[in-house]
Amino acid sequence: MTSRLVGVVLSCFAIAVACGGTVRQAPTELQGGAAGQGGNNPGQSGAAGTTVGGAPHGGAGGAAGTEVGGAAGTSPSCVHAIPPQPPSVTNAGGDLELVFAFTSIRFDSGADAGAHPVGFDLDLTCTCQGEGDSCVLPSWATAIGCDGPDGRDNAFASMMAEFGAVAPEFSAESWSASIAAGSWSVLLRIRNYNGQADDDEVELAWYVPLRFQPDLPKLDGSDAWRIVGTCIAPGDGGDPYSPKYFDPKAYVSNGTLVARLPKAVFRPSGWASMILTDAVVTGRLMQSAIGWEIQDGGIAAVWALNDVFAGMKHMVISASELCADPNDQVYAAVKKMLCSHADIYRLPGAPATTCDSISVGLGFETVPAVLGEIRPPEAKPDLCGPQTDPANDSCDK
């Protein structure tokens, strides 16, 4: 990596530290007001909390409120962005099977931000919007500000904006161009769908494809993407594409698909694998001239820092590998930038739990596609030796 790029990386991180801090301050429009005047009639007790992506957690419900007014600092605008609830219909049934391929991606930051913010309130806490943090920020988590609208957790967006200022391959535009070039994508399969606006139970499967060959993908519904064998689970022979990453209890509510995946993996071109935890996948199911599509798709998930470090040995920035060499200024700067964006805990926790992950919000669009042959994964070069493997590093070191 050139000395100029090293300087840009270090300068970018210095700016992030100067603007960050472990004490979060909400923008004026998101700050809560003074305490309201209490009413006379008690409100209803709050229900027990749950995480958006993972298994339910959270203990007793909240105490009864008052009819008028709230506690000081409470923002009436924070309504906790969560996925649509399941439809009222039951046992809808259906035999429609649909396959989709990603055609574009967006980070919801800078020039690529769409009309609708991506992500959900994963920890059900509107940080800086009348509510505190859902986990304890370590001393090195200095870059994160407040949650987005309605408590949306998406530290990934601001992190990628910083990386994009250093190297163009970290932009959503570059990632989308790589899809068009056939370098990578994500394939989604829906089964048992009734084709209607509401379906209480469908299956959503997530597949990782290999590079499209021999030509460029047409993105017209006819592309058969080869599937990496590592995302196929041992099956009973009934489904040759038995998925490793899937939700058998996904649903469609008012035309919007909602699925929850304990794990999901994708491999943007030239990037390490991203292992997403408790991923929530949503999008509008629409019919177009070429078939069914998922439009205004979204992914909300948690990216654990230990998974970040494990994948860094396959990461390349401007033709330079990232190895945990104590004398490598670029690695040190990238590590600090990644660690500085930790804002959430990867499992259901308590406010006393230390943040150990980066919240992720991504937008995507799709076209119809075809599941191709199943192939072994392409061999990845081991860019770092055992002594400098980032998998052995951590933000605390």
Q: Percent helix, strand and coil across the chain, each rounded to 5?
A: 20, 30, 50
Q: Is residue 105 part of a domain?
A: yes
Which range among 19-23, 165-169, 242-246 has the greatest average pLDDT? 242-246
Exposed e or buried b for every residue in 297-323, given b needs 16+ CB within 10 A?
Answer: bbbbbbbbbebbbbbbbbbbbbebbbb
Instruction: Tell me what pLDDT residue 14 has.
Output: 41
Q: Is residue 285 part of a domain?
A: yes
Structural domain containing residue 327: 3-17+93-392
Q: What do you get for the CA distance between the two ends of the chain, in Å?
A: 24
Q: Is residue 159 part of a domain?
A: yes
Neighbours of 239 (CB within 10 A): 13
Is the confidence at residue 35, as pLDDT, over 70? Answer: no
What pLDDT band is residue 128 in, cutting at 50, 70 and 90? confident
Is the confidence at residue 218, as pLDDT, over 90? Answer: yes
Q: Is residue 55 part of a domain?
A: no
Question: How do residues 327-346 score in pLDDT, each as one tens digit?
Answer: 888 889 889 999 999 999 98
Q: Is residue 254 part of a domain?
A: yes
Q: What's the structural domain count of the chain?
A: 1
What pLDDT band is residue 143 in, cutting at 50, 70 and 90? confident
Q: What's the average model confidence in pLDDT over 273-296?
A: 96
Contact call for residues 302 and 359 (beta carbons, < 8 A): yes
Q: Is residue 22 part of a domain?
A: no
Q: Is residue 62 part of a domain?
A: no
Q: Is residue 72 part of a domain?
A: no
Instruction: Tell me what pLDDT residue 223 has.
Output: 98
For the chain, how big is the Rg over CA atoms in Å?
22
Q: What's the average model confidence in pLDDT over 323-328?
A: 88
Task: Measure the CA–CA gap between 265 and 369, rounded to whole angstroms.
Answer: 19
Contact call for residues 153 and 120 (beta carbons, < 8 A): yes
**Sign of the CA dihedral with 370 first, then 371, 376, and 380 last:** positive
Is the confidence at residue 125, as pLDDT, over 80? Answer: yes
Exposed e or buried b for every residue in 52-91, given b needs 16+ CB within 10 A?
Answer: bbbeeeeeeeeeebeeeebeebbbeebebbbbeebbebee
Neighbours of 178 (CB within 10 A): 19
What SS3 state is found at 114?
coil
